[in-house]
Structures are given as C-alpha cells and as structure tokens.
C-alpha cells in the first residue's frame, strides 16, 4: 500500500506542476509571446526590412567580373602568289584568354529615388499590420477568457440545481418507501435528477472546450492544464465606470482605417514614381580587361598580354512608348479614387459597429440589474418550495418549477455580464486600444 502511494505521489505532483494558473493579463501576456500569429507578424516586419535594404542596394555600384577562354579549332588561311609561287598563310592563335572587371553606378535615377520613399510606407504598413494582429489576438483571447468564466459559472448553476434535485430525489425516495408518496412522483423526481446530471455533464464539457480554445490562442500545448479563477460577477462593479469612460472619438486609431491611410500614401507615392518614368536617367560605367593569346608551341609565360579599359556615361531619355506610361498613370489615379470611396465606406461601417457595441453594452447593463434581482428571487423561491414540500405544504411541481426558474435566471445573469464584456472587448478593438 505504501509503495503504491509513493508511486502515485510523484505523478500527482507532476500534474500539479503542469497546471498553469491563468488570469486575463497572464493569458494575454503568454499569447503575445507564444502565439504563431504574432510570430508571423514579427517575421513579416523583418521581411519588409530586408526588402528595404534590397532597394537601398540600388544606390551602390554594381561590380561584376568575367573570364573567357577560346580555342581555335581551325585557323583562317589566305593564299598569296609571290614570284610565281603560291604561299599559304594562317591567321589567328591557338589560345585566347580574357579576364575583366566592370562596374556601373546610377548618377541620376529619379525612379530609384522615388522608390526608396516607398520603403518607409512599406515598413509603416508592416508595423500597423502587426499591431492589427496583436489587437485581434488580444480581442480573441479576452473573449475566450470570458467564455471560460461563463462556462464555469454556468457549471456552478447546473451543479447547484443538480445538488438540489439529488436531495429532493432522496427525500421523495424515502417517502415512497414509507408509502407517503406515489410511485409516479418518485419516478418524476428520479427523472428530474438524471436530467440535471446530464446538464451538469454538458456544462463540464463546455468548460473543457472553452479551455482548449484559449490554449490554442495562447499557443500552449493542448495537454497543458490551465486553471482560470474568478467569476463573471467580479467584473460587475466596474461596468458602470467603464461605460462612462467610453469615448467614440477615438475611432481615428482604428487599425483598419490606419492601414487604408497608409495604402493611400503608398499609392500616391506610386503616382510620383510613375511621373519619374518620363525623366531622363544618367549612369556611369567603367570596364577593365586583360586579353592574352598565344600558340601551343609557346610557353604560357611568354604569352603577350593586352590590357584594355574604358570609362563611359550613359544617358537615357524616354521619348515615346506607345502611351503605356500615360495609361498606367491613369490607372493609379483611378485606384486612388477607389481607395477614397473605400475609406468613406469603411468609416461608416466602423461607426455602425461602434454604435452597435455601445447599444449592446447599455442593454447588457439593464439586463444585469434585472437578472441579478431575478436570480436572487429564484434562489429564494427554490429554497422556500423545497421547505414547503418537505412539510407537505407544497407540491413537487412547485419544486421543479422553482429549480427551472433558478437555472434560467442564473444562466441569464451570467450571459448578460458576458455580453457586456464581449461588446466592450469588441469596442476596444475598434478603437485600436493597446492592451
């Protein structure tokens, strides 16, 4: 027996160590450091930074080396006549070697310079996109955390109803054995108790599923046990104060609007880049090469080397390309006009969402006050009906009705608090509020 307990104890301690106690702030902190969504967003920022450096490299000289070798398989021949005799002469050498270095540098390149400005907007958009990912993740984690509290509080309601129905079933069973109640009433009590047990099992499963959802968002292993403490009622005292602090003018920080504004800047810069396509460009180049040639019968060290070098400027002036640049410019102007209309429509949509969230919060506050009173009354009614039935002053129908009313009141109360907190979280996301 002792050996058995000693073998079980380390396993129990290990499970206890694996359990992670999670508060809302802790859940968000872990999610922002472990979630794949955030890791992807951070990698995207690095990718944009590399893209910026790639474009900057266009300002530096381009240097390349080259080397060639040529072997003459058949030399060209020429026949001349001297003093009545034909003389055949060969031209060319057996081996030809060439090695060189060339470099080019843009001196005047308006398109390249305008493109560099685009890098700043790319980096700004990547940062705002990463912020959007964080806001979305915080919103999802927050609502998943509240969903766990809702599931746990609902479980408590069902558990209290189950305990009550179990106690009632025991009392009725004893009375049935004594012959003071009918078999029909005992069967009803037994069915009620079993139905309560089924609801309790379903509520427990809802708790487990909501925890799995939170672990997925946090980037935790699915087999890691988490413990979420607290109740939805803990947030009730802060509801009214939070409602008064809501400022709908903060929508200017909405991440969707800011991303659209950055895209507008990008498109305007693309227009500037397109304008530079009509401007001339000037580049410099330098080439240096070593050329060596000789025949097989001559030692390689005796080959003659001929160096060559050139320096030049290249000026390109666009004159006519069939109107392609003009129509490209017109396309960009049309896209810019479309973005303006999209922003106006998006602003109206965000205003609508904000108004809807505010209305949901106000409605939830009204429901909370009513449901809290209803829950208190339902709990009191359930206790009274049980006592009345015990002393024979009430019917079992009164007991079952009071239990059902208690469950409905409890679920409605918890749901109203969750609805408020969920709407508040959505509103904070619309505002672009940093956690």
Q: Dump pLDDT digits (tens) for 110-124.
A: 888 888 888 888 888
pTM, entire model: 0.78
In the predicted structure, residue 387 carries a pLDDT above the cut 80: yes
Q: Dump pLDDT digits (tens) for 212-261.
A: 999 999 888 888 899 998 889 888 877 766 655 566 666 788 999 999 99
Give dist(CA 10, CA 321) in Å, integer: 80
Q: Which residues contact 17 (CB under 8 A, 6 or more apart)?
A: none
- Domains of the chain by range and CATH? 20-60+109-279+318-431 (1.20.1600.10)
Task: Identify the bridge partners of residue 53 per DSSP, sorted by sequence position.
Answer: none
Give dist(CA 306, CA 292) in Å, integer: 6
Q: Which residues contact 63 (CB under 8 A, 6 or more apart)?
A: 101, 102, 103
Task: Identify the bridge partners of residue 316 per DSSP, sorted by sequence position.
Answer: 281
Q: Give the residue-averaged pLDDT of 99-108.
A: 91
Average pLDDT of the chain is: 85
Nearest to 325 by CA among 280, 277, 279, 267: 277
CB 305 within 8 A of CB 109: no
Q: Which residues of 140-160 are buried (b: 16+ CB within 10 A; e: fewer)?
A: bbbbbbbbbbbbbbbbebbeb
Question: Which two tokens mark 74?
Answer: 């058949």
**Would you give the end-to-end CA distance of the chain in angstroms?**
52
User: How crowded is residue 338: how many other Cβ atoms within 10 Å of its Cβ?
Assistant: 11
Provide the 8-state DSSP code for 109: -
In the predicted structure, residue 7 carries a pLDDT above the cut 70: no
Question: Which two tokens mark 279?
Answer: 């401007």
Give dist(CA 135, CA 146) in Å, integer: 17
In this predicted structure, what is the pLDDT of residue 6?
Answer: 44
In this predicted structure, what is the pLDDT of residue 3?
Answer: 42
Give dist(CA 128, CA 151) in Å, integer: 34
In the predicted structure, residue 336 carries a pLDDT above the cut 70: yes
64: enclosing H helix or E strand: strand 62-71
Q: Which residues contact 159 (CB under 8 A, 6 or more apart)?
A: 200, 203
Question: Which two tokens mark 426?
Answer: 């959505």
């Amino acid at each position: 027996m002792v050996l058995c307990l000693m073998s079980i104890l380390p396993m129990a301690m290990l499970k206890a160590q694996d359990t992670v106690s999670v508060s809302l702030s802790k859940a968000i902190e872990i999610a922002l450091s472990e979630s794949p969504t955030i890791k992807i967003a951070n990698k995207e920022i690095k990718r944009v930074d590399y893209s910026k450096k790639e474009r900057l490299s266009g300002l530096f000289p381009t240097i390349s080396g080259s080397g060639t070798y040529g072997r003459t398989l058949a030399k060209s021949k020429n026949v001349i006549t001297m003093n009545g005799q034909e003389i055949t002469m060969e031209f060319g050498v057996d081996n030809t070697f060439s090695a060189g270095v060339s470099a080019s540098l843009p001196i005047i390149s308006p398109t390249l310079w305008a493109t560099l400005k685009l890098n700043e907007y790319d980096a700004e958009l990547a940062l705002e996109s990463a912020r959007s990912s964080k806001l979305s993740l915080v919103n999802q984690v927050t609502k998943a955390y509240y969903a766990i509290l809702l599931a746990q509080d609902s479980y408590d309601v069902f558990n209290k109803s189950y305990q009550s129905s179990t106690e009632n079933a025991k009392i009725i069973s004893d009375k049935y054995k004594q012959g003071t109640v009918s078999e029909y009433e005992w069967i009803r009590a037994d069915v009620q108790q079993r139905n309560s047990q089924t609801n309790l099992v379903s509520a427990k499963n809802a708790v487990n599923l909501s925890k799995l959802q939170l672990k997925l968002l946090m980037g935790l292993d699915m087999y890691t046990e988490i413990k979420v403490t607290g109740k939805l009622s803990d947030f009730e005292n802060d509801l009214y104060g939070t409602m008064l602090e809501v400022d709908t003018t903060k929508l200017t920080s909405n991440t969707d609007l800011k991303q659209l504004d950055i895209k507008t800047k990008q498109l305007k810069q693309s227009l500037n880049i397109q304008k530079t396509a009509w401007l001339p460009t000037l580049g410099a180049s330098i080439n240096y090469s070593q050329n060596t040639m000789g025949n097989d019968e001559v030692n390689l060290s005796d080959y003659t080397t001929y160096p060559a070098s050139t320096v030049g400027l290249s000026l390109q002036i666009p004159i006519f390309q069939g109107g392609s640049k003009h129509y490209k410019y017109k396309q960009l102007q049309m896209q810019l006009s479309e973005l303006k209309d999209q922003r106006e429509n998006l602003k109206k949509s965000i205003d609508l969402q904000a108004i809807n969230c505010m209305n949901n919060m106000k409605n939830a506050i009204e429901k909370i006050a009513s449901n809290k009173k209803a829950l208190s009354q339902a709990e009191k009614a359930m206790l009274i009906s049980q006592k009345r039935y015990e002393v024979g002053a009430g019917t079992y129908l009164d007991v079952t009705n009071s239990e059902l009313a208690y469950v409905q009141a409890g679920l409605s109360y918890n749901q109203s608090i969750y609805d408020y907190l969920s709407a508040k979280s959505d509103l904070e996301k619309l505002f672009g509020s940093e956690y």
